Amino acid sequence: MRRKGSIFSDFLTELEVPHTLSASDAAFAGMNFQSLFGFSRLLNSYGIDSDAYTLTDKDEATVIPVPYLAQLKDGFVIVTGYDDDSVTYRCRERVLTKPKDQFADSMTGVVLLAYPRENAGEPNYGKHRFFEIASSVKLWLLIVCSAVLAVFGFVEAGLWKNMSTIFLTLVNFAGIGVTWLLILKSLKVSSGSADKICGILKEHGCDTVLEQKASKFFGLFGWSEVGFTYFTLSTIYLFLFPQYIGCLALINGCCLPFTVWSIWYQRFRLHTWCTLCVITQCLLWLQFFCYLSGGFWSGVFDNIVPLMAMGAGYVAGLMGLNRVMTFIEKIKK
């Protein structure tokens, strides 16, 4: 899926000029003259000639060859087409349609027409395209290798032999995914998936809950960090040390009182819901029933030393993640 780009990248796409999103966005962000003149110079560096006009008759906007830039009262848009009744244009990653007369009323009259030359294209396009593909391959390579390791760990630990551990593994992976989205929300990183899920129970509910002081464990660690650490290490422990699954059951049991408090706090104190948080609480209870149905609660106090070692691992993982989160937050400021 194409990530959000600048109006410059969108214009290059409409002009069918070869470019990469990262390089063109960086060029637009570093434009020397933040004006129509600067935009024109940037287009020229891509082998695109351009002319700016001020239309005395705004009805001419529907006879100019598309695509072109048009200045509206609230900023520039890319006009991509028109018919007898309406005008179609791109604005902030959206394709909109407006009646001709309304579009004319919203215009200032300033337009920029572009004419790509035969060799038009991004400077060093081949090099930039190579690195763009390489970056994409790295991501998919990480996903594939992680999947292979997960399957190997699942089979090697013999978790496939018991329905309880099969469902437990699925719940753990779901927990990793949900708490990862919570991490992104905590860092205020744009995520369409997180926004869609968060809007199920209450619009902007996740943002409201995550901004509260109570969203931090002892005021130091975000509950999103705690959740991600918990589900990730629980999965790793399950794959590496299946013989100590009773310890994981006990640790899960210690988490359950928090789920009751979290639901109570959102319902009666904040009067709003964080959908991702609620899903996390449900996953913790699903874990409990998996451990219970599999009979893994028997003899949970027989392995005190492994239990302490696992606890130390959770703490170390949480500390490490918190350091990374703090570093990212400082960079963003």
Sorted by where each starts, the structural domains of the chain and their CATH numbers stand as: 7-116 (3.90.70.10), 157-332 (1.20.1440.130)
The residue type found at 154 is F
Residues of the chain with pLDDT under 70: 1-4, 204, 215, 217-219, 332-333
Of 122, 129, 128, nearest to 43 (Cα)? Answer: 122
Residue 332 pLDDT = 64
What is the per-residue burial (b if ≥16 Cβ within 10 Å, else e) of 189-221? eebeebbebbeebbeebbbbbbeeeebbeeeeb
Residue 99 phi/psi, 5° resolution? Answer: -55, 150
| pLDDT value of residue 93 | 73
Chain centre to alpha carbon of residue 239: 28
Rounded Cα distance, 58 and 173, in Å: 56
Q: How confident is the model at residue 4, as a pLDDT?
A: 60
pLDDT score for 219: 65
Q: How far apart are CA 163 and CA 153, in angstroms?
A: 16
pTM for this one?
A: 0.66
Q: Give the list of residues 6+ apart from residue 177 with CB closer than 8 angstroms, or none.
A: none
